[in-house]
Amino acid sequence: MPTLLRRRHLLGASLALGAALASLRGAYAQGADPRMALRALGNPKAKVTVQEWFSLTCTHCARFAAETFPEVKTKLIDTGKIYYEFKDFPLDQVALAAAMVARSLPADRYEPFVLALLSSQDRWAFNQGVDPQAALQQMAALAGMPKATFEAAINDQALKHEILAEQDRGATKLHIDSTPTFIIGTSQHAGEMTYDAFLKAVDAAAA
């Protein structure tokens, strides 16, 4: 593809993604359930906004959380360079239940709980000798959630519908079909990213 045509193609794709993101943010803003309010870290006025679409039973998401995210948080989020948004894209029923529980915690406990789940998938999600729901309830209890609140959360059909609706919007409007998928500014990146690759995308979005 000639350079000029390639630039026009990339600009068109960027504008289309930007329009889709604006549409999605409008849909989120209209949601009445406070549990579906945006879960994010950093300065909302940062020059670059990053979305991570993830599943709590995704091993690639877990590896990114363990190997790359700590550096992203220290060097990019905490310094005000990016605003980091968490977006649910549960790949199975276990991940969906976990997302429902995470959303039912107070907002300030969301990120620590999500990171705890990602770092311990082998114990609560993939342990052949463990009931995932029972293990998830134990994790929720450690985060301060009473058993009655946990049971209400995992049986809340309205909350389930809202999470699945968000996932559907991501799939239809942003063409997300795998996790993790990152939207950095107005560029989309599927799959795990090293810190260097992540930083390069952030710098490109900020330029």
DSSP notation for 105-163: S-HHHHHHHHHHHHHTHHHHTS-TTS-HHHHHHHHHHHTT--HHHHHHHHT-HHHHHHH
| E strand residue ranges, the chain | 39-42, 48-54, 82-88, 181-184, 187-190
- pLDDT score at 2: 56
The residue-averaged pLDDT of 33-59 equals 96
Residue appearing with tokens 């990171």: 115
- pLDDT score at 115: 98
Domain ranges for the chain: 3-206
Q: How many CB atoms lie within 10 A of CB 42?
A: 20
For the entire predicted model, the pTM comes to: 0.85
Contact of 197 with 203, CB cutoff 8 Å: no
Contact of 98 with 113, CB cutoff 8 Å: no
- pLDDT score at 32: 73
3-206 sits in which CATH class? alpha beta
Q: Which two tokens stand for residue 44?
A: 């909302």
Residue 140: pLDDT band by 50, 70, 90 thresholds? very high
Q: Which two tokens stand for residue 60?
A: 């690639």
Residue appearing with tokens 């134990």: 138
In DSSP terms, which residues pair with 48 in a beta bridge? 82
pLDDT at 16 over 70: no
Long-range CB pairs of 110-113 (<8 Å, 24+ gap) are 110/39, 110/86, 111/39, 111/41, 111/86, 112/143, 113/139, 113/140, 113/143
Residue 31: pLDDT band by 50, 70, 90 thresholds? low
Contact of 162 with 87, CB cutoff 8 Å: no
